[in-house]
Amino acid sequence: MAIIMADGAVYKVGGFPGWTSIGNVDYNNWAASNNFQVGDTIIFEYNAQYHNVMKVPYKMYKSCNVSEGTPLETFNTGNDSIKLNRYGHNWFICGFPGHCQNGLKVDVNVIRVSTTKPPTPSRTDDDDDDVQCPDCPNKASPFIASFGLIGLAILFLALAGF
């Protein structure tokens, strides 16, 4: 679920349950079902007595070993808002013992989306009108376009005097 704001969308990590080890939430499935953009905000809601949020490098995310390095950031308020300010992966884990290993981790991937449309080709007087174009309107006369081959055959027979 996302709330769209003028500055970007706001996502509650994990949806309704939030950031918790109860309920078997698949956080990576949740993340994959969203389309995160630069400027969006993710909110981690959790019980601060039992959880925290650590933004970590990939190696720490993969191993779930908090003693393996230094987290990039640590959050522990129970209601942490994090603005996504760059493209690419943002890895988060819970630093409480055993929580990451039990699935309390998420990979929030901010994708690059093109907001520009490809240029529309312009026509010049030199363009060949006989070129096949599936998006171009039918240039046949309305009579032929309406009746097709059967109508054309009937017209031919009528003109031939049958």
DSSP per-residue string spanning 54-105:
EEE-HHHHHHT-GGGS--SEEE-SSEEEEE--SSEEEEEE--STTTTTTT-E
Mean of the per-residue pLDDT values for the chain?
78
What's the rounded Cα separation, in Å, for the pair 119 and 102? Answer: 49
pLDDT given for residue 139 in this prediction? 38
pLDDT given for residue 158 in this prediction? 59
What's the rounded Cα separation, in Å, for the pair 73 and 103? Answer: 19
Q: Is the dihedral of CA 88, 93, 95, 101 positive or negative?
A: negative
Confidence of residue 112 (pLDDT cuts 50, 70, 90): confident
Q: pTM (2 decimals)? A: 0.67
Q: What is the pLDDT of residues 31-73, one digit of tens each?
A: 999 999 999 999 999 999 999 999 999 999 999 998 888 999 9
pLDDT: which is higher, 106 or 23? 106
How far, in Å, are 38, 45, 103 from residue 83 at the CA level?
8, 15, 23
Q: What is the pLDDT of residues 9-22, one digit of tens each?
A: 999 999 999 999 98
Confidence of residue 113 (pLDDT cuts 50, 70, 90): confident
What's the rounded Cα separation, in Å, for the pair 20 and 27? Answer: 10
pLDDT given for residue 2 in this prediction? 46
β-partners of residue 105 are: 93
pLDDT given for residue 154 in this prediction? 59
- The answer to which of 28-42, 50-64, 87-101, 145-159 has the lowest mean pLDDT is 145-159
* Residue 54: CB atoms within 10 Å: 22
Mean pLDDT of 131-159: 46
pLDDT given for residue 18 in this prediction? 95
Contact 10, 43 (CB under 8 A): yes
* Residue 114: CB atoms within 10 Å: 6
